[in-house]
Amino acid sequence: MNYGFVKVCAATAAISVADPMTNAKAISDCIAEADGKGAQIIVFPELSVSGYTCGDLFNQTTLIRGVEDAIAYIAESTRTAKALCFVGAPIVMQGRLYNCAVAINKGKILGVVPKINLPNYGEFYERRHFYPGGEGVDEVVICGKKVPFGPDIIFRAEGYEDICVACEICEDLWVAESPAVRHAKAGADIIVNLSCSDEVVGKAEYRRDLVKIQSAKLLCGYVYCDAGDGESTTDMVFAGHNLICENGSVIAESKLFENGLLYGEIDVDRLAAERRRTADNFFADSRKYPHTCVSFTLNDKKFALSRKIPRYPFVPDGGDEINARAKLILTMQAKGLAKRIAHAKAKTAVLGISGGLDSALALLVVRRAFILLGKPLEDIIAVTMPGFGTTSRTRDNSVKLIALTGATCRTVDITQSVKMHFNDIGQDENAHDVTYENAQARMRTMILMDIANKTGGLVVGTGDLSELALGWATYNGDHMSMYGVNCSVPKTLVKYLINYEAESIGGECGEVLKDILGTEISPELLPPDKSGKIAQKTEDIIGPYALHDFFLYYCTRWGFSPDKIRYLAGVAFKGVYDDGEILKWMKKFYSRFFSQQFKRSCIPDGVKVGTITLSPRGDWRMPSDAVAALWLSELGIEQ
């Protein structure tokens, strides 16, 4: 299968009311086109074979016979099509007329699903013509064949456990007890809806929200196909408002009053992962919610993704939402810290300021927390601790930012203390090895802890989620504090939050923050180059944070396989990183993510602001001695 993606299509063709054979030909043409483009599930509007607006013509035997002939034509003309297709038709069962969805695959009629909830308002009064479907599954003879009939049918793709499709029809979605709830509980992860929803002002927005919420609460993919041109406009119009949603997000949406084929890809891997996370195993309880399973052949044609894969999954994608999200995150960080400071009755907050991204964000958060508490800003003790690798740019930015935020600045040069420590442990100060680097980080943490003791304060950690994931932190050094405000904020989000603050604050402080954003990411533990600029560049050593945050999101949030993440990264970063670069840094990510877990097992408290945290007290449980071999082998890499 295509990395867990199922290509679906909502197809609104122009129809002729009460002309089933003309409609059958239009439907068959749509199926041929969509199947040829790799669509695996194709959905047509409610009563699309006959037309929804037939009124009392539904009582005509001639129309009912014409519909059955049209269904037979659709089945025969699409024998070579592999897609699972749902067409709407009036079907007679034991002398009663039902508003149904007819499922067709490779020329075979697989089953018939009746509408349960019939509206009794407006122009058409469905109850005037149709009988409501009930629970369970019976059999009906259609086109000379006995097939399952009833709402409790799940269509399962042969060989693919996670592709289970169920159906509800128009009004079934709008009622309090939607049939889709029962379907989802029985294991259906894709719900299709054949609809004929008339258009009035404001209804499109309501309809969109309804479909989104249905897909969110049921953790499913939802394909909503609406009637459009061709239905009678005697008293109302139909806009062909088609929607494809997945777990609360709109994957694709048609424009109003434009017939055509709407494509989208539903990620059933993602849905399965999210359902596995539900503690009470709400879904797939087929014993409690019995359904009849009908198998269908999945179209195995390869297709390219049309849905957007964002490069920065932790960062909002523009618009008004981006500023509102930034404000919310900063408020959550500040609220968490304010509670800890108040509970501990701390007089001061102490943090190290390096002139880099993480410490800048931490200082801004501490300032917000002090304002919330009504505490004097001078009780924020911001400490600059220049060492062997400190550059003038980062040192100057540190001092400026501290002054502009109203905090108290302290400078403690660590070079002599670290040299004395080198002498104590027998370290050659010309050997720029890991001891040379980590001794500086541990010295800085000791200074901060002791200043906090002396001033009755708490040390506020500055390390971010990306560094925790990669273990890019000195054990018992910069990964230790009394509260970590950035612990669930990845590097790409750190940049976005600082940029928000720079734009919001403006002035000289905004300019300093902008310069910090433009500074190379570095721990500055190695001496600068001959020109006095940063020589130790983090992303040259461990790889681009944009990629690592992408890997982290899909690995921990959705449990995707390395092979799928590699594929998604190739789509998201096309033209930026080639497959060789992505593979290189994926190896680095998995190797470090597994080997550095021991550092995450003892991290300090810190506020969770998003769906991912690596705290052992939060959402992540992982043994420190887990082996990465299986994950690396999927990428063809020997550990």
Q: Which residues are marked as active site?
A: 46, 115, 170
Closest alpha carbon to 588 in 628, 556, 623, 617: 628
| Residue 139 neighbours by CB under 8 Å, 6+ apart | 146, 147, 148, 149
Distance CA(602)–CA(175), nearest Å, equals 49
Instruction: For CA atoms 124, 127, 129, 133, give the dihedral sign.
Output: positive
Distance CA(591)–CA(61), nearest Å, equals 70
Q: How many CB atoms lie within 10 A of CB 529?
A: 11
How far, in Å, are 91, 153, 223, 291 from residue 217 at the CA level? 31, 21, 15, 20
Residue type, 356: G
Sheet of 41-43, strand order: 138-142, 145-149, 108-114, 96-105, 84-93, 41-43, 5-12, 260-267
Angle between helices 545-552 and 579-595 (to 10 degrees): 60
Q: How many CB atoms lie within 10 A of CB 586?
A: 25
Instruction: Please answer whether residues 253 and 262 qualify as being in contact, where contact means their C-beta atoms are separated by less than 8 angstroms.
Output: yes
Distance CA(253)–CA(263), nearest Å, equals 9
| Residue 254 neighbours by CB under 8 Å, 6+ apart | 10, 12, 240, 241, 242, 243, 260, 262
Angle (CA) 80-85-89 rounded to 5° is 120
Closest alpha carbon to 9 in 98, 113, 82, 76: 82
How far, in Å, are 270, 566, 637 from residue 634 at the CA level? 19, 11, 7
Written as six digits, the tokens of 480 are 């230790």
Residue 26's Cβ-side half-sphere holds a number of Cα atoms within 13 Å equal to 24
3-state secondary structure 28-85: HHHHHHHHHCCCCEEECCCCCCCCHHHHHHHHCHHHHHHHHHHHHHHHHHCCCCCCEE
Q: Report residue 631 CA to chain centroid gap.
A: 22
How far, in Å, are 8, 337, 374, 435, 586 from residue 461 at the CA level? 47, 11, 21, 22, 28
Closest alpha carbon to 399 in 382, 378, 416: 382
How far, in Å, are 315, 553, 604, 606, 632 from residue 618 at the CA level? 21, 16, 12, 10, 26
Question: SS3 for 379?
Answer: helix
